[in-house]
Structure 1
Amino acid sequence: MVLWTLPAVAGTIVILIVKPNPKNSGGMLIAFYCTQFFCAQGNMIISLITRNIAGQTKKGMTMTLVFVGWAVGNLIAPQIFQEKDAPRYLRGFLVHIVIYGVYIGLVLLTRFVLMARNRRKEGAVSEVSHELAFEDLTDTENPNFRYVY
Structure 2
Amino acid sequence: MMNFDYLAAQSILLKIPGGVFAAILAIIPTIIAERIQQNNYTGASMCIISFVGVLILAVIKEGAVKLLGYYLSWAMSGAGALLAATIGANVSGYTKKIFYNSCMVAATTLGSFIGPLIMLEREAPRYITGGIVYCVGNGVAIICFLLDRAIMVRKNKLRLANPPDHRPDLSDAPTDVEDKGFIYKL
The 4+ residue runs of structure 1 with deviation greater than 4 A are 129-135
TM superposition score normalised by structure 1: 0.87
State the 1:126 CA deviation.
6.6
* d(CA) in 1 for partners of 2:150, 2:59: 34
Corresponding residue number in structure 1 for 2:54: 12
**Deviation for aligned residue 1:55:** 0.8
Which residue of the partner structure matches residue 147 of structure 1?
A: 184
Structure 1 CA distance for aligned equivalents of residues 95 and 47 of structure 2: 31
Number of residues of Structure 1 aligned to a counterpart in Structure 2? 144
Does the CA-based 8 Å contact 2:168-2:174 persist in structure 1? no
Partner of 1:100: 138
How many angstroms apart in 1 are the aligned matches of 2:168 and 2:127? 56
Given the superposition, is the C-alpha separation of residues 126 and 137 from structure 1 closer, same or farther in structure 2, using an over 3 Å criterion?
closer
Amino acid at match of 2:132: L
Q: Which residue is 2:161 aligned to?
A: 123
- Rounded to whole Å, the distance in 1 between the matches of 2:145 and 2:125 is 33
- The equivalent residue for 2:71 is 33
Aligned to 1:85: 123
Within 2, Cα distance between the matches of 1:29 and 1:81?
17
Query: What do the CA deviations read for 1:18-64 (whole angstroms, capped 9, x no partner)?
Result: 211xxx2x322122111111111111101000111111111111111
Aligned Cα root-mean-square deviation (Å): 1.9
- Residues of 2 paired with 1:144 and 1:16: CA distance? 47
Q: Structure 2: 5+ residue runs without aligned partners?
A: 1-42
| Residue number among 117, 122, 137 corresponding to 2:174 in the alignment | 137
Residue in structure 1 matched with residue 36 of structure 2 by the alignment: none
Name the % identity. 24
Q: For residues 158 and 44 of structure 2, what CA distance do their matches in structure 1 show? A: 25
Partner of 1:63: 101
CA distance in 1, matches of 2:176, 2:131: 38
Partner secondary structure for residue 140 of structure 1: coil
| C-alpha separation in 1, matches of 2:164 and 2:110 | 44
CA distance in 2, matches of 1:35, 1:18: 14
Give secondary structure in 1 for the equivalent of 2:183.
coil
3-state secondary structure, aligned to 1:148: coil
| Alpha-carbon distance, 1:123 to partner | 2.6
CA–CA distance in structure 1, aligned partners of residues 108 and 46 of structure 2: 19
